[in-house]
Amino acid sequence: MELKRVVVTGLGAITPLGNDVESTWNNALNGVSGAGPITHFDASKFKTQFACEVKDFNANERFDRKKLRQLDLYAQYALAAAEQAVADADLDSEGINKDRVGVIVAAGIGGLHTFEEEAGYYALHEEQGPKYNPFFIPKMIADIASGHISMQYGFHGPNYGTVSACASSNNALIDAFNLIRLGKADAIVTGGAEAAIFPAGVGGFNSMHALSTRNDDPTHASRPFSASRDGFVMGEGSAVLVLEELEHAKARGAKIYGEIAGGGMSADAHHLTATHPEGLGAKLAMKNALEDAEMKPEDIDYINAHGTSTPVGDISEIKAIVDVFGDHAKKLNISSTKSMTGHLLGATGAVEALFSLKAVQEDVVPPTINHADDDVDPNIDYTLNFTFNKAQHRPVRAALSNVFGFGGHNATIIVKKFED
């Protein structure tokens, strides 16, 4: 059977850089950091006291009280981003067969704060017996954002969440891509959401020594590919994309941001949390994505790197890029937008897919901020173009975006300019 072509017709974003696509993208191009002191809880006793939080998000203005009782913060972010994407794609209009519109929105963790609140209350009041909120389980589970979005719009197509830690939303995008090109849906609302900047999230990652502890300078803490990097900065939020079968999009006159060219997945099969030191799984994911897209390494102009600002991960990813792209690696632009957004965990792939699409659409590469010229790691080849500190305008025919998750999960997607 001939596989169908898949394009992107809608975008939505709630991120540490802005509560819509335009502000998020413009702040990324301008090298703005989303980091600051944690406000979700009192972090004064924690090793890390800062994060990249969403700002000025007023849930009471977005949802009525009855609805809010059903929603963990991660699902609130997902619904808000989905509302933007669905409106942008005009997917809630007459003539859309909603039986063939699906929702696949990922979360790496899900309703962590809800779990904290409910389990914490029982721990403090055990003598009273169990008193759990009836919404506890449906607020907490990692698939529920997809359910809420489908219920809001009456989308009856394939509906579920994907969970692969920090690779979750790239897995969601790849699943949506595959279902549409196989003819199982006309369009799918897809992406990811996360809201883990709470005691269990920060404390848990701190105990692994995974987070930066640069409390005196939060905005410069996420510094991928620099020698002084000391861990990732936690982010939160959601990005949602509408993926649509090309002929379906053309028939209704939808605007097209770009085309999904391919996706690749792999496993490191190496360690609970650390990436393979030689980038084995990363190489496989990128090679698989290129093969799926029927593209050569020379066809890629920009790589949105996983680039978490961790001592091991940044090195192994660059090794993998050099191995896969060879001499062409030095002609690429590479950047880590996590230097600005922080690491949105299960939502990070969707945010970076959005950045990759905008880069392809506008021929500009967002920067890797916070690098100093003398802050060099002998294990990193600085003849590569990491797009340090300033966005660069250049032709971007296609962009590749990597995400790698705890458990050794690797997922890579490729987006390209749409040509009819």
Element holding 237 (H helix, E strand): strand 237-245
Continuous H helices in 131-182? 136-140, 144-153, 168-181
Element holding 334 (H helix, E strand): strand 333-335
Please give the structure tokens belonging to residue 393. Answer: 């305008």
3-state secondary structure of 414: strand
Distances (CA, A) of 84 to 13, 79, 253, 396: 7, 9, 18, 26
User: In angstroms, rounded to a whole number, what is the distance separating the alpha carbons of residues 105 and 350?
Assistant: 9
Is position 306 annotated as part of the catalytic site?
yes
Distance of CA 417 to the CA centre of its chain: 20
3-state secondary structure of 411: strand
User: In angstroms, rounded to a whole number, what is the distance separating the alpha carbons of residues 235 and 169?
Assistant: 14
Is position 220 annotated as part of the catalytic site?
no
The single residue of 148, 220, 343, 371 carrying the catalytic annotation is 343
The single residue of 40, 113, 220, 306 carrying the catalytic annotation is 306
Long-range contacts of 96-100 (CB under 8 A, 24+ apart): 96/187, 96/252, 97/186, 98/153, 98/154, 98/155, 98/156, 98/157, 99/156, 99/157, 100/157, 100/185, 100/186, 100/187
Please give the structure tokens belonging to residue 355. Answer: 């950045």
User: In angstroms, rounded to a whole number, what is the distance separating the alpha carbons of residues 183 and 160?
Assistant: 18
DSSP-derived pairing of the beta strands 258-267 and 237-245: unpaired
Contact 220, 214 (CB under 8 A): yes
User: In angstroms, rounded to a whole number, what is the distance separating the alpha carbons of residues 272 and 252?
Assistant: 46
Tell me the residue type at 258.
Answer: G
User: In angstroms, rounded to a whole number, what is the distance separating the alpha carbons of residues 12 and 148?
Assistant: 16
Tell me the residue type at 290.
Answer: L
Burial of 291 (0-12, 13-18, 19+ CB in 10 A): exposed
Is position 113 annotated as part of the catalytic site?
no
Count CB-CB contacts under 10 A for residue 269: 10
Contact 292, 263 (CB under 8 A): yes
Tell me the residue type at 349.
Answer: G
The single residue of 166, 248, 276, 371 carrying the catalytic annotation is 166
User: In angstroms, rounded to a whole number, what is the distance separating the alpha carbons of residues 67 and 83?
Assistant: 15
Q: In 92-103, which positions are buried (b, 16+ CB within 10 angstroms) versus exposed (e)? A: eeeebebebbbb
Catalytic machinery residues = 166, 306, 343
